[in-house]
Each structure stands twice: as C-alpha cells, then as structure tokens.
Amino acid sequence: MLFCLLSIAISVPARGYGDILIVVNQESSIYNISERELIDLYMGRRFEFSNGETVLKLDQGKDSDTKRLFYQLLIGKTLSEVTAYWARLLFTGRSTPPYGLGDDASIVNMVMGNKSALGYVNEELDIDVSKVKVVGRVH
Amino acid sequence: MTNRNSLKSTLFLLLIAFISSKVLASTGIEENDFKISGFSTLGIVNAGNSTLGYRRDVSREAVFDDTTFKSDSLLALQLDIKPQSSLSSAIQLVARDRSDNSIEDSLEWAYAKCRLNRNWVARTGRLGLDIFMLSEYRNLGFSYLWARPPVELYAPMGIEHFDGVDLSYSKILDEGEIRLKAFSSLKDEQLFGVSLSFETAKARFRLGATSIDFGGEGSKVIALLKPALQSAGVLGWADASRYARELDIEGKHIRRYSAGVSYDHNRWRFQSELAYIESDYKPFSPLWNGYFNIGYRVDPVTFFILFGYAKNVGDIENASAAPPGFEALQGSLQSLLNRVRADQKTASFGLKWDVRYDTSVKLQADHTWVEQYGGVLWQQKQDLVNDTELDTISLNINFVF
C-alpha cells in the first residue's frame, strides 16, 4: 500500500511557472536587492535590510505554488525542506518565519500598505505591480 | 501510574496553553506578537531482545523484544511572545514517555531572550542543551531524515535542557553566518560549554566543548554498592574501600568534545558527527562515538543509509579477588563494571516521505552489532557475556503545526 501511494505521489508532474519578482513599497529606500541578501533575509539570518532599515518579510501561504517556486529557485529546497528548516529555527528559539499571507494579490496589497514590507510574486500570474517597486528578480 | 498521571497533567497543560493562545489572540494582540506552534510524532518501534532493552536515549524506558508506541511518540507545543523587536520569550512543553516523568521535566524550555544588537543575543531560563548538531531539536522529527537521532551519538547524553544563561554572537559573512555561543547553568550542578558554528544555505559546520557535572548519587545500583563496599573495606576486603571511593560520583564531571558537518544541496544530503567523551569518574573510560549519513531525494521521498559507532576505549576492569564472605559483593561490583561500557555499531537504511509540506512518514530498519560487555546504551537484564546482534524496525509519522 505504502509503495502504491509513493508511486502515485512521484508521478504527479510539477506545474511550470516563470520568474519571481521581489517587491517593496514605493516609498522604500531600497532600489535593488541582491540574491545573497534575499537568502539571508528569507532564511532568518538577517533581521533588517543591508542599509539598516527595518524589514517586514512577507511569505505566501503555506502550500502556495508561488512559494514552492520561490524557494526552489532561491535555495533549491522543496516546501517540506523549507518547513523543516524554519521549524528548526522556530523550535530552537533562533528566529521566527516570515509573516505568511494568502497569495500573490495579498502580498501586493500588504506591500502597498506598509513601507517596510518585502514580498515576492509570480510574474506569470499577471498581478498588477504598478503600485509597488520591483527591486529584484529570482529565476 | 505516576507516569500516566504526569502524562495526563502534561497534556492538560498543553491544552491550557492552546486555549490561552486562542483567548489572547481574540483580545487584539497581533499575530506577530504572540504565536502558538507545535510538532508531534506518532511512532511505533519493534526493538530489543530478551536481555537487552532498547531505549532511544538513557532517560527513556526500555523495550525488551516488544513493539511500542511509547518510545518515539510525543506532542510538543510552543508559545512565542514578542512584545518588542528586541525582546521575546518562549515556552515549550513536550509530552512524551520518560522513565522519570514529571511536569517539570515536560517543560522543555521557558526562557526570555534579549537581542542586544545586530550580533549579540542573550537568553536566560530553561534552555536547550546545545551540544549536538540536532541539539535543541532532537525531538523535532520532521526536521531530520531518521526515525530518531542516531542512538550511538545521542543516547549517551539523555539530558536535553538546563536552567541557566547563554550568550551568542553571530555575524553574516560573504557565504553564510558564523555563530559563537557560550552557556552555563545557574544551579549547583556545574554545566558549561561553548560552540562555534558556520552555516550557509547548503552546509553547516559545528565544533563544541562541554563540561557537565554528573550530579546526585548516580544510579540506584551505585547507591547500594557504595556503602556495602565501604563496610567491606572495614571488615577485611582491603580493595573494597578503594572501589567505594572510585564509585563516588559526586563532584565528577563529563567533558565532551564534538565536531559535526552537514551538506544539503539539490538531491543529496550528508551529515556526520563525531564526539569524544572523557570523565574523571573512573568506571567510565573515554568514549568515541559518531555517525555518518547519506541521503538522496527522489521527490517526495528521501532514501538514506546511516552508520553509527560507539566504543569505550581500554579494557574492562576486573575487580580484585575478594576474601571468603565477600564473593557476592565482588560479583555485584564486577557486574557493574561489565555494564558501563559501549561497544556497538549500527547500520541503518530507510526513507522519509514528505507527504505534504508539514507532514512526513518515515520507515527505518537498523541492524546493531553489540560486542561482549558493550551494551551500556541498552538496558541490560544481565551481563552481556557474548556478542549480540539486534534488529530495530521503526515507523513514524511527523507533523509540524
């Protein structure tokens, strides 16, 4: 039974998506963000932007496809591995995970309303990012 | 019965913590300031034989040729409160089977944490004992591949937390973060240590040194043997007084030195730890222990093999011949000396199936070779006079929430 279930799970194809856009508030003093800095922020090693400004890190819903793609492109980890990584930091008191929201549109709305917010959206979902600032791209 | 009551009380506390979180959440405290989370394992293991009782670590009840849910199953709840960006506190309760169960022991952590600046963090309260790669999350089954942390390295040190302080310094370098940490207990039993770690997105390196006071009188056997040997020394067995002194555990220390490395990239996962433990307590000769693990992921399943090793160096001490009338006491002393050594290795293979982002299923088979008189990691019903081989089969379901 176990191996039947395994074979079914392995055979499910992954959905294809494009690049991930990194977005901040229009009024933010951040104009670009390096991949290194992004990894440090989203892996809980950095608690503020490199210029010292406060950051509110936003994550997508726990099993969202954009989140799956973001972490796969950024650090090569699956959602389970990211959950395991954050569980390790959370349950050892080192850090708490980024604030989780529902989907790409929620991220844009939250970034529009918070000067310190940092988020990511999937470019191919045609989310309107005209009212936020794109400071990076993960591909 | 006491254990069952303690387990019920712990579950009750966990329930109260959970309800409290909902009440506080409804009073307007923001989610970022107050967070309740947890993890659990439902595990079944078949292990042990008629004379060697399997135990996950030396603080657990042993399993003699039986199948049990008690060894690996647990439920943990953690409450994080963050009133300011630089101040936070956390409480973690873990309900699981213990040979010495109590509410106090179920309180895994309860500490206040102060981020002094970008680099320095200080904590005080009940803290996880940071002496392994998996130190502070050895109960968090979802975060590692195996059914449990490798027994050869983790079982000898049953202590998981201490009441004290720690201070850590971390700095982000080009490729990762370096972290130096020092900790000390604030109780009478001396416990202190330092660790140095370096972590990148793919790899982790760790060095550690720790000194731990044995504390208390030692095992019940030692508590019985010591006065008997003292009396025997007066009554005519000249060496008995020396043995009584050597068994006196008070004020004795364990010093542990360790190194660990892990690499996790794309489909491959490697992890290894090696430790050397020495003591000024004569019956415990120095111990080398470690493990090596290789895992390969075929989404969503990671297959792994694991080798563990633990061996006390030196030979078994033979108690000197006793004069007539003291043969039984000499036999008891020799039996104790026969049971304080580790000499075993384990080969394991298994899989971790990530069923979804927060749930995993693990299956693991272990084959262990225990050499003559090398069974200290097991509960021994009698002296292990012959080499023995044992199989352990484990099935776990792990959750985080």
Q: Which phi and psi (to 5°) does residue B137 adopt?
A: -140, 35
Residue-wise pLDDT for B27-67, tens only, equals: 444 445 788 999 999 999 999 999 999 988 777 788 999 99
- For the ranges A25-29, B8-12, B138-142, which has the lowest average pLDDT? B8-12
Label residue B359 by pLDDT band (50, 70, 90).
Answer: very high
Q: Please name every residue paired with B284 in a beta bridge, in sequence order, or none if there are none.
A: none
**pLDDT in the model for residue B145:** 95
- Please report, rounded to a whole number, the percentage of residues in chain B having pLDDT higher than 70: 89
**Which ipTM value was assigned to this complex?**
0.79
* d(C-alpha A39, C-alpha A58), whole Å: 13
Pairing outcome for strands B87-96 and B74-81: antiparallel
Q: Which residue of A has its CA nearest to B398?
A: A84
Closest to B324 (Cα-Cα) out of B235, B243, B247 = B235
A93 to B128: CB separation less than 8 angstroms, yes or no: yes
* All residues at 6 or more sequence positions from B144 whose CB lies less than 8 Å from its CB, including other chains: A84, B134
pLDDT higher than 90, residue B15: no
Label residue B26 by pLDDT band (50, 70, 90).
Answer: very low
A93 to B177: CB separation less than 8 angstroms, yes or no: no
* d(C-alpha A136, C-alpha A84), whole Å: 26
Residue-wise pLDDT for A32-62, tens only, equals: 999 989 998 999 888 889 888 989 999 998 8
Residues of A in contact with B358 (CB under 8 A): 62, 80, 83
Label residue B165 by pLDDT band (50, 70, 90).
Answer: very high
- Residue B384 DSSP symbol: -
**pLDDT in the model for residue B86:** 83
Nearest to B265 among A76, A91, A99 (CB): A76
Residues of A in contact with B362 (CB under 8 A): none
Residue-wise pLDDT for B193-216, tens only, equals: 999 999 988 899 999 999 998 766
**pLDDT in the model for residue A15:** 42
**pLDDT in the model for residue A121:** 94
The residue ranges of DSSP E strands in B186-230, in sequence order, are 191-199, 203-213
Q: Which residue of A has its CA nearest to B300?
A: A10
- Residue B54 DSSP symbol: B
Residue from A75, A80, A99 to probe the interface with B (highest B Cβ count within 10 Å): A80
**pLDDT in the model for residue A13:** 35
pLDDT higher than 70, residue B24: no
**pLDDT in the model for residue B345:** 97
Label residue B217 by pLDDT band (50, 70, 90).
Answer: low
Q: Is B50 exposed, middle or buried (0-12, 13-18, 19+ CB in 10 A)?
A: exposed
Shortest alpha-carbon distance between residue A107 and chain B (Å): 16
Residues of B in contact with A40 (CB under 8 A): 172, 177
Find out whether A9 and A94 touch, Cβ atoms under 8 Å. Answer: no
pLDDT higher than 50, residue A1: no
The mean predicted confidence, pLDDT, of chain A is 84
Residue with tokens 């913590």: B17
A78 to B300: CB separation less than 8 angstroms, yes or no: yes
Residue-wise pLDDT for B312-325, tens only, equals: 998 778 888 878 88
**pLDDT in the model for residue B216:** 62
**pLDDT in the model for residue B198:** 95
**pLDDT in the model for residue B304:** 98
Label residue B297 by pLDDT band (50, 70, 90).
Answer: very high
A9 to B136: CB separation less than 8 angstroms, yes or no: no
**pLDDT in the model for residue B295:** 97
Closest to B240 (Cα-Cα) out of B228, B224, B252 = B228
* d(C-alpha A106, C-alpha A112), whole Å: 10
Find out whether A19 and A137 touch, Cβ atoms under 8 Å. Answer: yes
For residue B333 the two structure tokens come to 């002393």
Handedness of CA B359, B60, B343, B251 (dihedral sign): positive
Residues of A in contact with B180 (CB under 8 A): none
Q: Which amino acid is at B155?
A: A
pLDDT higher than 50, residue B142: yes
The mean predicted confidence, pLDDT, of chain B is 86
* All residues at 6 or more sequence positions from B101 whose CB lies less than 8 Å from its CB, including other chains: B2, B3, B6, B7
**pLDDT in the model for residue B148:** 94
Closest to B238 (Cα-Cα) out of B336, B326, B334 = B326
The residue ranges of DSSP E strands in B48-128, in sequence order, are 52-53, 66-68, 74-81, 87-96, 107-115, 120-128
Closest to B107 (Cα-Cα) out of B188, B23, B14 = B14
SS3 content of chain B, % helix, strand, coil (to 5): 20, 50, 30
